[in-house]
Structure 1
Amino acid sequence: MLLSYMPTYLSDEMGYDESHGLLILIGVMVLLMLIINQVGKLSDRFGRKPLLMTGMISFFFLSIPSFLLVKQGSLLAVSAGMLMLGLSLVCLLGTMSAALPALF
């Protein structure tokens, strides 16, 4: 949703230029790329279940507030809303490489 829908939402619904929405997304994703290794280290230290649960719970509680922030339309609010979704996502993605092989 963050990668595919958010640029379209920003351009179609919020009136942002397509390149402007993509630049905001790129900025958030670069920050998440820097964080994902640290989340992997946390997963090695504390286990994959606590981080997966943290990601799922944060998605559950932060989805509506993050979309409300994005809907405000200011650059700071849009970036904060996308970052909230991204931090929830990075908790899941940082542990997937350890969690998926353990399922089979």
Structure 2
Amino acid sequence: MTVRIGVIGAGVMGADHVNTLHRYVPSAEVVLVADTDTERARAAAATVPGARTADDARALIADSLTTLRAMDAIRRRCGIVFPGEAPGAGQPAGT
């Protein structure tokens, strides 16, 4: 399963996170880089084909598919049940 990821902040650490996720984590897809410095966001996103940029971190929240995929990945890894889900929905497979 590919997890769509948005990175908030495109400074030295944020740009490194984008690079690391893109190059070394095959199950991760960086889809958005947000930074108030739009040039930094563009520079970091330019290293990932198809990555978009935003000048406001709230764009990640508005990207429902990214948010839902991230929530699903967290839920599966941690066995978390979100409000409204059936008991056991967040349990890792085979448990």
TM-score range relative to shorter protein: under 0.3
Indicate the structure with greater strand content: 2
Q: Which has the higher contact order (CA 8 A, sep 6+)?
A: 1
Indicate the structure with greater helix content: 1
The alignment's TM-score, normalised by the length of structure 2, stands at 0.28
